[in-house]
Structure 1
């Protein structure tokens, strides 16, 4: 194949700017004059020495591939897939994977696939144009029978040019006039490449005295050429690198002829910056080092962005507390430590009583300020080694480590009740919120992190039932409900392992034409003894546990697989909608999982829609904004589910790249009666139209409701009136026919 997607990939690196550590060959090629292109036109690919292909099976462990590339000094290796296709993994892909900590598993999951191909008889000019346009540095070479025979690197093309120039220079020894012209051409071309590069370039003599720098060097460091020529590159030193660091650097230059990596340097103005640096030894005709060439780019902003994303993956942006994922990691670690030393661990689950009233009366901004103040008060009243997390909405959780006396936990809970319950000043108002706190103890109540969180949550509801603004330890009388939930949780683990989950699909219709425009994937559990378990009996529990991530991934994969099958069968389903939870979205591997799923199922991104609850979108605005914008750039449609039940601000909504609003079915109960709900639905539909969004009404069950929605111009609808959720094989026959029948009535 001659075109395809990438996983880690050269193309991705080129588009995102993640790989700015050297001059790209495609950059230099764009400045080649007509004379250079002439040589490329004349010579076919088969006329130059092309690297023989080194191919490893897709199942090969990534660490083995890395070791092999290091031993054989390969800058790229090909990956053979069971379906007959090839992919490629480059040296820079590996550097990026190691930096991201993701170098695990089989190589097939990381290679760019498919490998882009050219034939051996195509010209080098065609190869240069293709590689420049595609922004890749390697292509496979195939013979007339389509067999893979080699791997062409862009450096091979440039080396071919250099070789041709060398031949011309040798001829010029016999023809002095031609020699002079060609020498001038080479100097002119090299100078253009040197000065036009976006990366900083520095050339030193063998004694590391600077001889020349380019304009990008001046832009990145602040030093002009006159200020640095004759000086040692140490003038840029930040002082952050140890002597051993430089010892290893020079050892690599001496033995390998090159070094590359990250290094902190200092600009002329004193500002520190992180650069990706490549240094190459240049040898003369006698194989002695005559010069060193250093090429570098400023990656400070990229590193800051990576660190920010890493922080967002483990922290709540509003309060700067740990999020649920980090909380569970720390609780697990605390349990291991407590088990080793015979100590106790307390888990507190804290929920603000009637916090919804704050949002109802004062709005989200005031609610956010209250949450931040509550977070500060909780942190101020526990020890530095204790963990405080925001679990979502108005719920917080704490891990109290090294507990000797459970009565101390009660004293902390009492202190939190007093401190959180104090008046909070918001502008000229005083706001009072009270907490209800549930407590579980390791190992008295449970020994697993998931169980302790669930039991503390149960105890918190017990505190609310006692009148709120109290704390409650988990008690044996709560055990019946807790045990039932723990048993269900265990069965859910088994259900995932034994493939007991099923997806049902409910169609969405265009209310003007009756055409099906989408299907929503809905999770069902086919229990071996209880039959089809209603969603209300297990989905809430799954979402509160760590299972929501693997179950969510299964749903996403299965929905995409089915959508691909419908495409192959010619069934026009619009797009498949999948609900995703906040916990699933904010795992650090969500985007990579999504990319893998779309690749494995071969489903184009435009056929997938992700649905997020309105409360999730509003409570995690900064994090979700970053994620949604990334999803939108990949062509994935985005919808806000249960719209109208939260407190969305139009200011925030217009800044999110969503294209669909789904109105909660609760607003349809008294439709057409002139009720407040009617006004809300009309307003949402009008707002959606004004913002250019599709509006879907959920829960359409009667002809009266359908007529009301058509009257107010609602775009789309779904509900029992059209079709109940059903297995995929039953959906195809009824979907479009049912919509047309309803509109004809």
Structure 2
């Protein structure tokens, strides 16, 4: 055992990403992936949680029944999963393998599974080369090989391996040659289709062998070089006497390894104990050197002081020996203070506290002083020892921290904590005297524009000016606080009539709305103010703050730069949103979402060229809910990210099913939101979904809103180019409703434009909207981009689109959004009618309503 090897954290041994699958992956597919990745296990995941593991050894059970190869891996996996922390040392891991009897551990870091550690990893990394060189193969116990004839059925061999709990068998051929069949071979055969035929046809031959006299180190190196985990062992006469595997090496060096580990850990603990003792001693010396020490006799005459005393007070030892400690007195302590001090010393034997003293220079300072009575062998006081430190700076820092804990650093106003405290106090006073209290919430309109255009320094200056104007507009008894960002809150007391509050609010609107001079540039910001009244609107501080905040948003909805008193209907609206948000969380957890699919047709031949996935919510009470009702709220709360992941996964899964069924649908189109795209794990999630569903990337089209695709941020360009490089089609949805830069458009890897349905309000080519459609189609043709017209509902619209050359269409006239199980039948019927009658004239609407046109983002 070499020093420090046992201390290596096992996270350093994880050389490649963990191979994983979901619980619905088939046994056959899991085996195929294990063999393809040349690893010995696959971890079954449920989201980010490892719920099971399936190894090459488990493949032996699968091989006993051919029908089990298509079962979900979740039915046969080993569960629960054995785990080790990423910081577990190599030595501790080796012991865990020995005690548990398992051959694989999942390594976990920060709650996430990062890889799998096997027994082979332990053998390769434990640094026992010197020990392995000293021991020969024949010095360890190796079981005799289990031998089977080459004509034995492969299925029977696998059953025997399972029954005898062995990971390999030696195959004996008629010509005397030997081969080998291992668990990994079984995994490969399962992944390739099954376990038919004779074992001799599938075994590896010839069996590689080593002499029993060779060292374990030579055996390990040979097995690594030949990429094998088993090697035959021959005696001096050339007879095959055993089969050596990596597990044998680990088990036979375990005893020496653990003993060495325990010895090393004991030495480390002893060294650590000594180091801690030395550290404590150093700390004491350090503390003593920093603190002033003064020793007096029993009459309080100074006998000794240390250098720190001189540094802190300015008095040398010669100047204070024989004198009374009162030479340091500041005059701030009263005679009663000193009487209490001496009483504590004589009764308790010590005193501790803060005291003001004076340096030799006359400067006052605060010291933290501990005085202890020292008694002789007879129990009489012989000396007093005083230890003190200068805490002046600490006291100032505490006062500063106390201020910062209750005030906003930028404006000097009260912060949220102090505001809530003063509001509570104002409510108590109002209740006592039967008065009212007003809470005002003030938010600056479009303040973000100042930060984005002039920078945060300019924004900070604006906030300071606004704070000053708010303070100036109120009485000294009122409270003004900054709640964070550009939000302020105020507490008004002792007013006669609620109309007085309105007058104050109007005055604040006028004051804050005046021009602000920033380096010669005049800036104008306007506020919106919401007001709640105690006790009319509520009796609790938190309730009044919430209601004032709701009223402030009501003021913004009225056009900004106004004040708004709270009204009860505001609470109803807010509660409805909270209820819907809670139901959305439940809907995601209880699988209440579903997808409808609407095909896109090529007018030239009636074929489907794409299918758009549209989100619906099957509410247990409200029935089918279109996304226009809930998507906006999901965007605001960030729920759109997991919902978007679900939509993408479900759409890809359905597309794979269509491919397997032979239904030609072109591409599956999925709407993605900006918030979803800009999450750190978007590309990783997309890769995982495509991998798990086995959907070819070119079969997927992501639809982005025009405002998002035309965003000039560098990140969106990088993201779109990465998606295109992976073969994923990109479409701009609702094109024409935003502000597109043609120069930027030609540089993006976009292959489809979907014209917003609003332009089809009339199909009159002389109408401006008709001209816009004609221009977009021409532009798309010039740039080599497909153009799809959304919302086709009438024959006149269809005829107009044929006229302008827009051949890809989607809308109620052709097909309404349908569940997946109805789409194939509907699409085939519509395609036959279209081809038979030279167009789509007879593609009439059936079922659904206009609200089903809403998309997933």
Q: Normalising to structure 1: TM-score of the pair?
A: 0.49
TM-score under structure 2 normalisation?
A: 0.43
Task: Flag the structure with larger Rg.
Answer: 2
Q: Which has the bigger relative contact order, CA under 8 A and spacing at least 6?
A: 1
